[in-house]
Amino acid sequence: MRCLPFRRAFYARVSEQPIGSRAFCRLPEAASLCWGRMGPERVEAHFIWLVRLGVLRREVDGQGLTERVRLTPMGRELLASWPGEIPRAPLLERIHHQLRRSRPRL
Protein backbone atom coordinates (compact mmCIF):
# COMPACT_ATOMS: atom_id res chain seq x y z
CA MET A 1 0.00 0.00 0.00
CA ARG A 2 2.99 2.29 0.54
CA CYS A 3 3.87 2.00 -3.16
CA LEU A 4 0.41 2.99 -4.39
CA PRO A 5 -0.66 6.60 -4.94
CA PHE A 6 -3.64 6.60 -2.56
CA ARG A 7 -3.52 8.46 0.74
CA ARG A 8 -5.12 7.34 3.98
CA ALA A 9 -8.11 9.64 3.33
CA PHE A 10 -8.95 7.58 0.23
CA TYR A 11 -9.08 4.35 2.23
CA ALA A 12 -11.18 6.05 4.94
CA ARG A 13 -13.60 7.18 2.22
CA VAL A 14 -13.97 3.72 0.64
CA SER A 15 -14.46 2.17 4.07
CA GLU A 16 -17.57 4.33 4.49
CA GLN A 17 -18.95 4.42 0.97
CA PRO A 18 -18.06 2.61 -2.29
CA ILE A 19 -16.66 4.58 -5.21
CA GLY A 20 -15.87 3.85 -8.85
CA SER A 21 -12.83 5.01 -10.81
CA ARG A 22 -14.73 7.52 -12.95
CA ALA A 23 -16.57 8.94 -9.94
CA PHE A 24 -13.27 9.17 -8.09
CA CYS A 25 -11.72 11.26 -10.88
CA ARG A 26 -14.72 13.62 -10.87
CA LEU A 27 -14.41 14.36 -7.15
CA PRO A 28 -13.25 17.90 -6.39
CA GLU A 29 -11.07 16.54 -3.58
CA ALA A 30 -9.52 13.74 -5.70
CA ALA A 31 -6.12 15.45 -5.62
CA SER A 32 -6.11 15.37 -1.81
CA LEU A 33 -6.99 11.64 -1.78
CA CYS A 34 -3.92 10.56 -3.77
CA TRP A 35 -0.39 11.63 -4.61
CA GLY A 36 -0.84 13.38 -7.94
CA ARG A 37 -3.54 13.43 -10.59
CA MET A 38 -4.67 10.24 -12.36
CA GLY A 39 -7.12 9.35 -15.10
CA PRO A 40 -9.92 6.77 -14.69
CA GLU A 41 -7.94 4.00 -16.45
CA ARG A 42 -4.98 4.36 -14.11
CA VAL A 43 -7.23 4.55 -11.06
CA GLU A 44 -9.03 1.40 -12.25
CA ALA A 45 -5.68 -0.41 -12.68
CA HIS A 46 -4.79 0.43 -9.07
CA PHE A 47 -8.26 -0.70 -7.93
CA ILE A 48 -7.78 -4.05 -9.72
CA TRP A 49 -4.41 -4.51 -8.04
CA LEU A 50 -5.86 -3.75 -4.59
CA VAL A 51 -8.73 -6.18 -5.26
CA ARG A 52 -6.20 -8.88 -6.18
CA LEU A 53 -4.29 -8.17 -2.95
CA GLY A 54 -7.49 -8.37 -0.90
CA VAL A 55 -7.47 -4.76 0.34
CA LEU A 56 -10.51 -3.71 -1.72
CA ARG A 57 -13.51 -5.64 -3.01
CA ARG A 58 -16.04 -4.91 -5.74
CA GLU A 59 -19.46 -3.72 -4.64
CA VAL A 60 -22.36 -6.02 -5.50
CA ASP A 61 -25.87 -4.92 -6.45
CA GLY A 62 -28.90 -6.78 -7.80
CA GLN A 63 -27.28 -7.09 -11.24
CA GLY A 64 -23.96 -8.49 -9.98
CA LEU A 65 -20.57 -6.83 -9.54
CA THR A 66 -20.30 -3.09 -10.11
CA GLU A 67 -17.33 -0.87 -10.90
CA ARG A 68 -17.40 0.53 -7.35
CA VAL A 69 -14.96 -0.71 -4.70
CA ARG A 70 -15.12 -0.92 -0.93
CA LEU A 71 -12.52 -1.63 1.76
CA THR A 72 -12.28 -5.23 3.00
CA PRO A 73 -11.81 -6.30 6.64
CA MET A 74 -8.18 -7.12 5.80
CA GLY A 75 -7.79 -3.60 4.40
CA ARG A 76 -9.11 -2.20 7.68
CA GLU A 77 -6.54 -4.26 9.60
CA LEU A 78 -3.72 -2.98 7.40
CA LEU A 79 -4.83 0.62 7.94
CA ALA A 80 -4.95 0.08 11.69
CA SER A 81 -1.21 -0.68 11.61
CA TRP A 82 -0.54 2.95 10.52
CA PRO A 83 -1.85 5.46 13.06
CA GLY A 84 -1.35 8.47 10.75
CA GLU A 85 -0.75 9.01 7.05
CA ILE A 86 0.56 5.99 5.14
CA PRO A 87 4.26 6.67 4.60
CA ARG A 88 5.41 6.82 0.98
CA ALA A 89 7.84 4.16 -0.15
CA PRO A 90 11.18 5.38 -1.52
CA LEU A 91 11.38 5.80 -5.28
CA LEU A 92 13.47 2.67 -5.82
CA GLU A 93 10.96 0.55 -3.89
CA ARG A 94 8.05 2.00 -5.93
CA ILE A 95 9.88 1.21 -9.18
CA HIS A 96 10.56 -2.34 -7.98
CA HIS A 97 6.90 -2.74 -7.03
CA GLN A 98 5.76 -1.51 -10.46
CA LEU A 99 8.12 -3.96 -12.19
CA ARG A 100 6.80 -6.83 -10.08
CA ARG A 101 3.22 -5.87 -10.96
CA SER A 102 3.87 -5.63 -14.69
CA ARG A 103 6.40 -8.48 -14.95
CA PRO A 104 5.73 -10.82 -12.00
CA ARG A 105 8.23 -13.47 -13.10
CA LEU A 106 11.28 -11.16 -13.24
pLDDT tens digit sequence for 11-59: 999 999 999 999 999 999 888 899 888 899 999 999 998 998 899 999 8
Beta-carbon contacts of 76 under 8 Å, excluding residues fewer than 6 positions away, are 15
Residue 62 scores a pLDDT above 80: no
CA distance 53 to 55: 6
Domains of the chain: 8-102 (1.10.10.10)
Q: Look at residue 17 and give its three-state secondary structure.
A: coil
pLDDT of residue 94: 87
